[in-house]
Amino acid sequence: LFGAHEMAKFGMIVDCTRQMLYVNPRGPSASTSAALASFLEARGFIRVPMQLNPGHHLEVDAQINFRAVKLIVDTGAFTTLIAAPIAEGAGVAMDSAMSVRGQGVARLGELSVGNFKMNNVEIFVANIHEMAGAGLLGENDLSLNFGIVDLGGMNLFLRRPDQASANKS
């Protein structure tokens, strides 16, 4: 189990879609991060700055139905999980067949991670606010949107699935 703090020491890069972890034994490199950013942005990826929160978790600025929050980037969480009080305050639409007492499956009108927007996103809502703040950006949304986590440059890169085929031509 690698934590973000340890991963940052080696400037690790996580490719969420291909489930690959790249390690630089010499540590983080500004030139490697700059080259990666240039390469990915030229292919339609959106750069989202990350920071380590006081608990040493990777965090990004986000909006849930236009309500500003900070989400933990969690490549170990299988799905995006939003704290119940945050979901309720943002007017998240709970699935009545898959939810009980404000917890369960829900659908967001819009989830923005930095300048990257996702519409009609299925998430889970739970009482996690004491452990995870507003919530976790999980592997399902990271891999679906070709997430690349660059701990050396402290950036998350995302690209819409419909851009993948457009960039091959």
Residues 21-50: tens digit of each pLDDT? 998 888 888 999 999 999 999 999 999 999
pLDDT band at 169 (very low <50, low <70, confident <90, very high): very low
pLDDT band at 1 (very low <50, low <70, confident <90, very high): low
The more confidently predicted of residues 115 and 167 is 115
What's the average model confidence in pLDDT over 13-24?
A: 92
pLDDT of residue 162: 82
For 133-143, the pLDDT digits (tens) are: 899 999 999 99
pLDDT of residue 25: 82
Is the backbone of residue 85 left (phi > 0), alpha (psi -120 to 50) or beta?
alpha
Higher pLDDT, 99 or 15: 15
Q: What pLDDT, on a 0 to 100 scale, did the predictor assign at position 71?
A: 97
Q: In which residue are the tokens 């990826």 written?
A: 45
Mean pLDDT of the chain: 90
Per-residue pLDDT at 85: 93
pLDDT at 55: 87
Q: Does residue 155 surpass a pLDDT of 50? A: yes
Nearest Cα to 111, choosing from 61, 157, 165? Answer: 61
Using CA atoms, how far apart are residues 66 and 81, in angstroms rounded to an integer? 17
Query: How many other CB atoms sit within 10 Å of the CB of residue 121?
Result: 18
pLDDT band at 93 (very low <50, low <70, confident <90, very high): confident
Q: What pLDDT sits at residue 6? A: 80
Q: Are 80 and 140 in contact (CB under 8 A)?
A: yes
- Please check the confidence at residue 167 and state whether its pLDDT lies above 70: no
Euclidean distance between CA atoms 70 and 133, whole angstroms = 8
